[in-house]
Every structure is written in structure tokens, then in C-alpha cells.
Amino acid sequence: MIAIVPDRDELVQHGISVRGHVFWHPTTSQLYEHALARGDARLAEGGPLVVDTGKHTGRSPKDKFIVREPGSEARIWWGDVNVEISEEHYDGLREKVATRLSEGDVYVIDAFAGADPAHRLAVRVITESPWHALFAKTLFIDPTDEELDDMEPQALVLHAPSVSAVPEEDGTCTETFVCLHPSRIEVVIGGTFYAGEIKKSIFTVMNDRLPLDGVFPMHCSANLDDAGRVTVFFGLSGTGKTTLSADPERHLIGDDEHGWSDDGVFNVEGGCYAKVIRLSAEAEPQIYTTTRAFGTVLENVVVDEQGLLDLDDDSKTENTRAAYKLEQIANALPTKRAGHPSSVVFLTADAFGILPPIARLTRDQALYWFLSGFTAKLAGTEIGVTEPQPTFSACFGAPFLPQPPSVYARMLGEKLDAHPRAKVWLVNTGWTGGPFGQGRRMPIDATRTLLDAALSGDLDGVEYRDDPTFGLDVPVAVPGVDSALLDPRSTWSDPEAYDAKAAELARMFRKNFRRFDDVTPGVAAAGPTV
């Protein structure tokens, strides 16, 4: 069956009167042709489309705004994360974007966010750019032809990267803007070609809408083993969320965004958006293969005159990315849905070299570490960063939380209470033997061995020790892993230097946690001691 293609007049309801062509539900090949003809992309060996996002090679969190309006203002977590903008300014920016979209050709992608039909959102993305349309087509869930026939958009993204704001008149900080109107469920984006803004805007929408339906939204990857055991991996960028979930021995549910309902876990997306800088064919074979495939969009990856990729070249950015359909991973779960997690994993890249490679958490500790959302920035990653700096991102995703962190922590606690057999693990994929610059990165083979033992239940009956600073249960010995690695203090050449740095990190944790004054005494006491 061929889906019905709407008339261009359908866009008038969105305030867009297109004078050019309207490309409804374009195919991947069609979008390739248009992007290449416009000079917006290059074709690399193997078939991926390579694009350059210009000066914005990552998200612009300081240019993200939420409209303060009566329908939602009481539930929004206002502050540095969710900066308010007036409806008047929003409407002005929307008009600018709609006007630009009316002037030339536009591409319309209708898709779903959420693999669970009971909790999905029909999303319409309207953009002036064919490769951004391909990105949206790749990252969201394809509807069937029958679903397209009856589809009414519930969320709308108006995307015109060539439009710039005027801060003095538009109420923005710069020429870039990413604005969400919660009650209308609309997003307008301009001033940035970084495609991740489209993806994360809809994730922000889902983080607002799902709790209203009693569904816990999660910034996590997820997979499933042949025995039906589900694992979710929470973590910030660079902690291994995508790499560790793409396990050839397990079925991938998704790599970044999920919901946990009364029926189990479901992927919010239909694709993956993986960092590919220095990607290894040996360590990450499945993701590596996608960088040589038709349909993949590669952002800011260096390609030579012959169309050959250099994944090791960071001259454009460390944040090189690949967007690809979930089905490109050989063992991906077609339904993108599974049961309730038996394991919850918090990933952290501790550049201080203090935390153990794996530890078991109690329920209260789980909520403490979830609210803390700890990882570390490395020296050299930002101007002025000369040594590792702690990053505390509440719920492992603060930039995408429209509501207060306590809302999501409460939902995690309720899920753990409802499924008491689910175990929570803290896994450090960062440094050992000393901080960044002195120690070494945690061996990925050791991390995988430890995870396999934890997820299979092999760590249930082993001996544990109590970490004196962080109060964590740490296994003493695990087959296939050097026991010295399990005791970070013993890997440092100067144990007293380790003690001093551990106390320093503990103080950072305690200082950060002071902002959470509405937790139970048990959660408040579950942090490190100084």
C-alpha cells in the first residue's frame, strides 16, 4: 500500500504557505540526491552521507528556552537548565522560522517518538534541509503506510537553521535558539545546523509528557539477553552508554532514550546517534560497520578527496557523530520493547581514578547516585580546563529535564520498589592507577567481563568489601579480572595521594548534593563520608 501524500495546504495549519516544493515522507535515496545536489553533503566510501555542521558542533544549552505559559509553568524546573522565554518572543521567533520555511522547498517527516503504542507521540518535523530531514527520519520511528494515512501530528518541530535571532528584539542570548512551547508541544529551532538539537528537543518533550502518563523517562541505553533479562545503562556522554549496550551477545533495545512503563522498557527512538571519534573496528565492530553503510549520516567526520573516512581526525571536533537506524545493528530488537529491567547500571567516567570499576548499590544509594549524575570533564576538552573537573548532571541528563530532578528520582524509586529483584550497579569506565594524565583508562575488556558477571548473576554470591569513603559494596575478586583493579587505592603508586584525592572528591559530592533538600534521610545519608 502507498501512503497518502497530503496536499501542501496541510502546512497552512502550521502557519506555512510554501511557495516551493513540499517533499512529504521522502525516501532516503531522495534525500541523499537533494543534499548532494545542494552541496550540503558528501558521499563517502561505503555509502554514508557526510555533513559539516559549521560552528555548532554540539548542542547549545545556553540557547535553549522554554516558554513560560499558564498551561505548564507550575511543573517546569525553572533556572539555569530551563530558561524562560515569553510567549510573545516565542511567537516572534516562530513567525521568522515559518516565513523562511514558506520561501523555498521544505521536507516533511512524520514519525513516532516511543515504541510503545500506548505511550508514543506522533511527531512532525518540517525543515528546509534535506540532510536534517534524513536525520529525523533516521532517529525517530517509522510509521507504517497505514499509520501514515491516519496520522495527526501531536508534536511539531519547525527547523530553519539558516534563520538567526536578533537578541535585542527576540529575547535570546545569541542568534541561536531552541525553544519549546510545552502546552502546544512545539519546538522552533534556528541559528544552528547541529542535528542533535532536533533529537534532544523531542527527548525533552517526552521527559515532560511521559511522567504525566505515569511513565518513567530515562536517559539510558538498554539491551536484552537470550534469557529475557533486561539491562538499562544510564550515563552522560563519553561514559560508554552506546558502546557497552551494543553487545554482540545481547539484543539492543536502544542506545540513548527510553521509557519504563507498567509493562516494561521501550525505546523512544528508531535510531542511534553515536560518538565515533577514534572508533575501533576491534573494540566496537557493530557501530564501526555503520560508518561504512548507506543511510548513515556522519557529522563532522573528516573525509578525503577519495571519499575515505578518518575517524581518528578530531580537527573539526571531538564530538563527531553517526546517526543510523537501529536495524543497522545486527542483533537489534525489532520491537524496541522488552520487560522490566533486572539490572540498572550507572556509568561514570571518573577521571580522578578514585572509584572502583564496579560496585553494588542499595536502593538509597541508587537514588543518591542518580540525583548526583557524576562524571568528569578531562583536561584539554574545554578552554581553561587544565585538570579533571567533576560534572554533576542530575538524573544523568539534566539538560533534558523540564521538570525537577526529584520527579524523576521519585519515579526511579517507585520502579525499584515495584521490582525489588532489580539490582543496581555503579560502573566506572574512567581511570585507574591515578588521575587522568597519570593513570590509565579502565581496560574495556575488564569492564565487559565485570558487567557480564554482574548481569548474569555471577556476582551474587562473591565476597564484597566496603569502600571506606563512598560506602560502596565492591567485589573482592572476579574471575578473569586482575583483583588489584578492584581496589583502586592499590593501583596508585602513592596510597596517601589516593586518600587525599578520594576525600576531595567526596567533598565535591556532598557540596553538590546540598541542592537536593527534599530527599528522605536514608537517601541523604547514602553519600560518601569525609
Whether 241 is catalytic is yes
Dihedral angle, C-alpha 328, 332, 336, 337, nearest 10 °: 180
Q: Which of 34, 64, 124, 200 is catalytic?
A: 200
Residue from 466, 201, 489, 229 nearest 342 by CA: 229
Whether 94 is catalytic is no
What is the distance between the alpha carbons of residues 123 and 197, in angstroms, rounded to a whole number?
Answer: 15
Tally of CB atoms within 10 A around 104: 12
What is the distance between the alpha carbons of residues 147 and 145, in angstroms, rounded to a whole number?
Answer: 5
- Antiparallel, parallel or unpaired: β 41-43 and 374-377: unpaired
Q: Which of 64, 219, 258, 336 is catalytic?
A: 219
Q: Which of 63, 255, 256, 364 is catalytic?
A: 256
What is the distance between the alpha carbons of residues 399 and 144, in angstroms, rounded to a whole number?
Answer: 32
Name the residue type at position 235.
G
Whether 200 is catalytic is yes
Cα-based distances in Å from 450 to 255, 415, 474: 20, 25, 11
Evaluated on CA atoms 317, 351, 247, 235, the torsion sign reads: negative
Listed in sequence order, the DSSP H helices in 140-180 are 145-150, 167-170
Whether 42 is catalytic is no
- Antiparallel, parallel or unpaired: β 423-428 and 341-348: parallel
Q: Which of 89, 132, 321, 501 is catalytic?
A: 321
Tally of CB atoms within 10 A around 71: 11
Q: Which of 17, 60, 237, 406 is catalytic?
A: 237
C-alpha cell at 312: 581518528
Whether 449 is catalytic is no
Name the residue type at position 157.
V
127 three-class SS: strand
Whether 86 is catalytic is no
Whether 499 is catalytic is no
Q: Which of 34, 56, 59, 89 is catalytic?
A: 59
Render 234-289 in DSSP notation, one character per residue: E--TTSSHHHHH--TTSEEEESSEEEEETTEEEES-SEEEEE-TT--TTTSHHHHH
Whether 138 is catalytic is no
What residues have CB less than 8 Å from 370, skipping those under 6 apart? Answer: 234, 346, 395, 396, 408, 409, 412
Residue from 430, 431, 432, 425 nearest 485 by CA: 432
Name the residue type at position 453.
A
Q: Which of 57, 192, 201, 242 is catalytic?
A: 242
The residues that bridge with 275 in the sheet, in sequence order, are: 321
What is the distance between the alpha carbons of residues 446 and 34, in angstroms, rounded to a whole number?
Answer: 46
Residue 21: exposure state from Cβ atoms within 10 A (0-12, 13-18, ≥19): exposed
What is the distance between the alpha carbons of residues 361 and 348, in angstroms, rounded to a whole number?
Answer: 14
What is the distance between the alpha carbons of residues 323 and 381, in angstroms, rounded to a whole number?
Answer: 23
What is the distance between the alpha carbons of residues 155 and 125, in angstroms, rounded to a whole number?
Answer: 9
| Catalytic residue IDs | 59, 200, 219, 237, 241-242, 256, 321
